């Protein structure tokens, strides 16, 4: 029992990986995608618009990457 507690204390000291969720356009794969309106998802159904290819719709792709894999400018390595 003491061994399990010691292992849990050791695990608390380990650094947890932080992940970031990135939204991707389903047509062109760009990360340059935004909500179409400030009311999107509140009064109206969520709708996204891609600023690169012009896609407009409710479907987007999302991926999770480790925080250390993202460059300072926001792009992934």
64-73 b/e (C-beta count within 10 Å ≥ 16 → b): eeeeeeeeee
Instruction: Give the separation between CA 30 and CA 51, rounded to whole angstroms.
Output: 9
pLDDT per residue as tens digits for the range 18-45: 888 999 999 999 999 999 888 777 777 8
Instruction: Give the separation between CA 50 and CA 35, rounded to whole angstroms.
Output: 9
Instruction: Give the separation between CA 16 and CA 27, rounded to whole angstroms.
Output: 33
* Residue-range domain boundaries for the chain: 21-67
pLDDT greater than 90 at residue 10: no
Instruction: Give the separation between CA 56 and CA 75, rounded to whole angstroms.
Output: 22
């Amino acid at each position: 029992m003491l061994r399990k507690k010691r292992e849990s204390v050791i695990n608390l000291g380990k650094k947890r990986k932080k992940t970031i969720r990135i939204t991707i356009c389903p047509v062109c794969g760009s990360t340059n995608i935004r909500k179409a309106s400030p009311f999107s998802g509140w009064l109206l159904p969520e709708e996204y618009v891609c600023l690169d290819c012009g896609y407009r719709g409710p479907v987007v792709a999302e991926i999770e990457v480790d925080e250390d894999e993202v460059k300072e400018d926001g792009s992934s390595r």
